[in-house]
Amino acid sequence: MRWVGRVTLGLGFVTAMGSAARAQTASVPVNAPGAPLSGAYVSLGGGVGLQQSTTLQAAPNLGVPGGKSVQYNVGAAAEVSFGWGFGNGLRLDLEVPYLTNQVSGVSGYGVPARGGGSEVKYGGMVNLMYDIGLGLPVTPYVGVGVGGVRVEHDGFNISPVGFAFPHAPGNETGGDFAYQGILGVSYPVSFLPGVALTAEYRFVGLLDGQPGFKTNVFDSAGDVVATGNLHYSGDFDHTIMLGLRYALWNPRAAVEPPASAPPSTEIPAPTAVRTYLVFFDWDRADLTARARQIVAQAATASTQVQTTRIEVNGYTDLSGSAEYNRRLSVRRAESVAAELIKDGVPDDEIELQGLGESNPLVPTAKGVREPQNRRVEIILQ
């Protein structure tokens, strides 16, 4: 087996390549399981959020002791994101979150007490995500995010029997820094190219607990006896959301020919050149059962016709870096060459080269995962 650093493509060979590509399509869809996102995408999700109990900080000027706790019902959670996948598992997205919870009660007063109102959080987050390719039907991912949120208390009140210090009527809002951790999993919808179902758990926290909220303290007659700011600490949310993600500008996947129409595996060129095409799954260099059949046919043909040279040229699509693709094309060519040798082709008759992204069968923009460009060409001359 000899390594060569040149490309020998004639008009007849180019014609053969095009015909073979139309006759043989053995590839996974562009949104196949385990394939990292490349390019722009949008996502949206919705579900439930559980807000942990918040602790009331002491406010001596209001006569309010600290250590009291506010509990919340399970509420709603939603998000919409716009992001970009870099093709290597990393993604960066801009998210608009929304969380809301109703107060369910208060504790720590030592006397009967009640609470009411709702808390709403919304804002903007920047998330760094990483898809973990494990070769499974689903793709796990993790992420971290930072940003800012607005915290809104609507009708927020705490009322021990005979005494109350609710917020002033209307909405009280304040801003705060937020951070989050994300665990998720995505599953591509095979009949909708570019679309994936997602399921996520998120932990969201505020950097400073909560901002101060204007509070009026009333006596039992309903008169205001003190006014000031009231703070709550330890604002943390746990959310579970289901969603949809759509990769924009996602090319259509190649369609496998019907089983009733046997594919042509041998394409004679106008000259004495014979070319066989072996296709690969995205980011893979191992041979499928169909690929081994094509290699076996090429090996048999090499003994039936006069052959002076057998070229094995590996190629990739235009997703990923050029250097990575060059190495991947070499691995693909080596897999085919090893199979030819296994099928009886002498090692010294094979010239092997990895040509990376060059000479795409289907011209595309950089970053596009075109199945017909992920190939090895076996050329009998």
Write the pLDDT tens digit of every residue in 55-85. 877 777 766 666 777 889 999 999 999 999 9
The whole-number average pLDDT for the span 25-50 is: 70
With 0-12 / 13-18 / 19 or more C-beta atoms within 10 angstroms meaning exposed / middle / buried, residue 157 is middle
Q: What tens digit of pLDDT does each residue of 299-346 get?
A: 888 888 777 788 999 999 998 888 999 999 999 999 999 999 899 888
Tell me the pLDDT tens digit for each residue of 109-135.
Answer: 666 667 777 888 999 999 999 999 887
Q: Are strands 90-107 and 75-86 parallel, antiparallel or unpaired?
A: antiparallel
Task: Identify the architecture of domain 38-247 in CATH.
Answer: Beta Barrel (2.40)
The model carries a pTM of 0.56
Q: Assign 15 a pLDDT band (cuts: 50, 70, 90).
A: very low
Phi, psi of 182 (to 5 degrees): -130, 135
User: pLDDT tens for residues 187-220?
Assistant: 988 788 889 999 999 999 888 756 566 676 666 6
- Is 307 within 8 Å of 380 (Cβ atoms)? yes
- Six token digits for residue 320: 């990923």
47 Cβ contact partners less than 8 Å away, ≥ 6 residues apart:
76, 77, 78, 239, 240, 241, 242
Residues 6+ apart with CB under 8 A from 254: 25, 27, 371, 372
Say whether pLDDT at 230 is over 90.
no
Contact (CB, 8 A) for 160 and 192: no
| 271 φψ region: left (φ > 0), alpha (ψ -120 to 50), beta (else) | beta
Residue that has been written with the tokens 């330890």 in this structure:
234
Domain with CATH 3.30.1330.60 in the chain: 2-30+255-380
Maximum C-alpha span of the chain: 108
CA distance 163 to 189: 57
- The larger pLDDT score, comparing residue 372 to residue 5, is at 372
- Sequence length of the chain is 381
Query: For residue 380, what pLDDT is reported?
Result: 87
| Alpha carbons 121 and 99: distance in angstroms, whole number | 5
Q: Point out which residues pair with 201 in neighbouring strands.
A: 183, 240
Please give the CATH superfamily to which domain 2-30+255-380 belongs: OmpA-like domain (3.30.1330.60)
Domain with CATH 2.40.160.20 in the chain: 38-247
How would residue 231 be classed by pLDDT, with cut points 50, 70 and 90?
confident
